[in-house]
Amino acid sequence: MEEYCEVVGCKNPKFKTVSKKEAEKVFSLSTQKTKVHLCKEHYKKFKKETKEDRKIERLTWV
């Protein structure tokens, strides 16, 4: 079974699977599962966004 990116409106093939909790901070998702598939483009964006997120979190939570 072929799997696809689960960002709303995206029809690209799956590149990586990430936790929905993290991914939903960045994207609107079309799944109820706890793991979501992202395509290459969305994964790149996800990595960038969550990296910045963690920096902020670290400052806020320490």
Closest by CA to 29, choosing from 15, 43, 8, 14, is: 8
In the complex, the smallest distance separating the C-beta of residue 12 from Zn ion, rounded to whole angstroms, is 5
Chain positions 17 to 46 lying near Zn ion, rule: CB under 5 A, are 39, 42
Residue 10 makes contact with Zn ion by CB under 5 A: yes
39 contacts 5 by C-beta, under 8 angstroms: yes
Of 39 and 61, which has the nearer Cβ to Zn ion?
A: 39
| DSSP H or E stretch at residue 38 | strand 35-38
Which residues are near Zn ion by CB under 5 A?
5, 7, 10, 12, 39, 42
